[in-house]
């Protein structure tokens, strides 16, 4: 039996047809391996039904949203972690995914269980079951520290710019007084 191709190479299978039992076994092992990879990943993973309800989240997702247990989230609508403004924008993206598109969305703001905000990059894909789209799944990569550092940098640059303009204005006033005297 060729474990990769799922069929026998010994000539005992005259039609060279795949062994269905072996194929299912391979996919079961692949599914377990995939689930292990998701659970151990440094990326947050989620699966949401086409109606918008959480079906699955991994430990990293729980950590990023500051939840203790998946049961706190499963069965709830994904709106729970969005402001009204952010939800409308994300809903438009989700509608495209539910039509079959895979989208790497970019930076998204999340509202955590404790009310704090975080930021992450988001990738979404449709979930097909029996050939029909039944939901969507995706991964999030935390960018909160980077986003907060960027905001601090912008504030500092603004203060420097304001200070520079203030100094220039004072020099202009002094120059104007000298010219009048």
CA 115 to chain centre: 19
Question: 114: closest CA among 68, 61, 57?
Answer: 68
What residues form DSSP beta bridges with 68? none
pLDDT along the chain (181 residues), means of 10: 41 52 63 81 92 94 96 94 89 96 91 94 93 94 81 76 64 62 59
127 bridge partner residues:
135
- Pairing between β-strand 54-57 and β-strand 44-49 as defined by DSSP bridges: antiparallel
Rounded Cα–Cα distance for residues 51 and 61 (Å): 20
- Torsion on CA atoms 39, 40, 41, 47, rounded to nearest 10: 0
Ramachandran angles phi, psi of 109, nearest 5° = -95, 140
What residues contact 72, with CB distance under 8 A and at least 6 apart? 113
Statement: the pTM of the whole predicted model exceeds 0.85: no
Q: How many other C-beta atoms can be found within 10 angstroms of the C-beta atom of residue 103?
A: 16
Q: In what order do the strands lie in the sheet with 132-142?
A: 54-57, 44-49, 132-142, 117-129, 103-111
Residue 122 neighbours by CB under 8 Å, 6+ apart: 104, 105, 106, 107, 108, 138, 139, 140
Whole-angstrom distance, CA of residue 89 vs CA of residue 86: 5
């Amino acid at each position: 039996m060729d474990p990769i191709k799922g069929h026998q190479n010994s000539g005992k299978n005259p039609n060279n047809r795949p062994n269905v039992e072996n194929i299912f076994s391979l996919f079961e092992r692949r599914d377990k391996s995939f689930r292990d990879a998701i659970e151990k990943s440094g990326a947050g993973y989620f699966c949401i039904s086409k109606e918008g309800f959480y079906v699955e989240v991994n430990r990293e997702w729980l950590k990023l949203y500051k939840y203790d247990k998946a049961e706190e989230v499963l069965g709830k609508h994904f709106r729970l972690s969005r402001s009204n403004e952010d939800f409308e924008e994300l809903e438009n993206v989700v509608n495209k995914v539910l039509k079959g598109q895979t989208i790497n969305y970019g930076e998204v703001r999340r509202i955590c269980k404790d009310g704090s905000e975080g930021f992450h990059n988001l990738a979404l894909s449709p979930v097909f079951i029996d050939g029909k789209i039944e939901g969507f799944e995706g991964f999030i990569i935390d960018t909160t520290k980077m986003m907060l550092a960027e905001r601090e940098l912008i504030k500092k640059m603004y203060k420097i710019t304001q200070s520079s303009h203030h100094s220039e204005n004072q020099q202009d006033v002094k120059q104007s007084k000298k010219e009048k005297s």
